[in-house]
Amino acid sequence: MKLSEQVKILEFFDLGDERGNLVVVEGSGYDIPFDIKRVFYIYGSDNSVVRGQHANRKTEFVMINVSGRSKVKVDNGWEQKVIELNKPRMGLYMSTMVWKDMFDFSEDSVLLVLASEHYDAEEYIRNHDDFMREIAKA
C-alpha cells in the first residue's frame, strides 16, 4: 500500500473566539476515522531522544503536538517521510503497519496521541527486521 494512503495530515477546525482558541477532535469518523479507545501524551523528551521505533498490527493513531513541535518519521517498509508537527490544529493520522520514530522534540513539546485500541504489547512490532518480514508476507 502507498504511504500516502496510510499516513495523512489532518487539519482540525478552530472554534476559537476573542477568549482564545478551541480545537475539538471527535472520533468515529467525524474528525478522525476511528473510535478513540486510548489517549496518551509525551512531554519532557529533549531533542536527543528518539521515541516510538515500532509499528502496530492493530492500532491506528492520530498524533497532535498540542504544544511545541516534534518530528515523526513514518516508514511503511518501502517509503519513508519526515513530518514536522508544529500546530495544535494539525494531526497526523497513521494506519496500522506504519513504523514510526518521534524525535527532535522542542522543550515545550506536548505530543498528544489518540489510539484506536487499548494497549496490548503483543500487537507492537519493536524490531525493524520483523516489521520488514511481516510487510513482505502481506
Min. distance of Cβ 50 from ligand TYD in angstroms? 8
Q: Which range binds ligand TYD by CB under 6 A, 9-17, 38-46, 69-77, 79-87? A: 38-46
Q: State which residue, 42 or 92, has the beta carbon closest to ligand TYD.
A: 42
Torsions phi, psi for 51 (to 5 deg): -110, 180
Q: State which residue, 38 or 81, has the beta carbon closest to ligand TYD.
A: 38
What does DSSP assign to residue 62? E
Q: Is 90 an interacting residue with respect to ligand TYD (CB under 6 A)?
A: no
Straight-line distance from the first to the last Cα atom of the chain, in angstroms, rounded to the nearest whole number: 10
Q: Is 49 an interacting residue with respect to ligand TYD (CB under 6 A)?
A: no
**Secondary structure element (H or E) that encloses residue 56, with its range:** strand 50-56
